[in-house]
Structure 1
């Protein structure tokens, strides 16, 4: 991938140098049409090579496009920030709820909340299980 990028940059540099060499004539770039600048005072034109005019026009166009897209997508970035804040708030709330509800429960409430289909644990008189039986699974 790096080789392709370097190849592209080298090709772009060759094209830009070729354009610059082919357009070396000096041109006058005026900011206002037909001597309108004389009413404002000062010199509102500049003499420069044609390739500089081409490159400056390209750079100004790229800058204008960048600003346009930045302003056009401002609402998308604002919405993303709001959703990110909402996600962080909800994740915090879920973590808080998990900490509160995963805490050890009262033994009486555990018995009351046990599903009806689960067999009730029978009290054992001794620490050893009766022959042929198993201990209930731990909770």
Structure 2
């Protein structure tokens, strides 16, 4: 199973390297459209290889997706936390009630009753 995982990683790495080699050309990445940049008298732009722009877009999309899912699942995590606290509270209550049930009894009989 480990070798299959390594083989998949190797194929994926080769595909990424092939994309990077095929898209080495420099592109100008502009932050603002020309019309808006003219209004503010600033033209923020940077020259990058195309594969950096492609991989950057993929990474940015993954990060946005992870954050979106984490925020979406907040209610589920909060409910699970509340349920876990309730379970612990009920377990403590059951333990307390069992100890109260055996007050004044013989300790051996209480242990036998608790085991069953």
Normalised-by-shorter TM-score class: 0.7 to 0.9
Residue in 1 that maps onto 2:75: 75
Asked if 1:44 corresponds to 2:44, the answer is: yes
Residue in 2 that maps onto 1:3: 3
User: Which structure has the greater CA radius of gyration?
Assistant: 1
- Hey, which bits of structure 1, 4+ residues long, moved more than 6 A? none
Residue in 2 that maps onto 1:64: 64
Identify the structure with bigger relative contact order (alpha carbons < 8 Å, sequence gap 6+).
Answer: 2
Higher normalized helix content (fraction of residues): 2
RMSD (CA atoms): 1.7
Unaligned runs of 5+ in 1: 107-139
> 2:19, 2:51 within 8 Å by CA — same for their partners in 1?
yes
With normalisation by structure 2, the TM-score equals: 0.82
> 2:26, 2:47 within 8 Å by CA — same for their partners in 1?
yes
With normalisation by structure 1, the TM-score equals: 0.70
Unaligned runs of 5+ in 2: 107-116
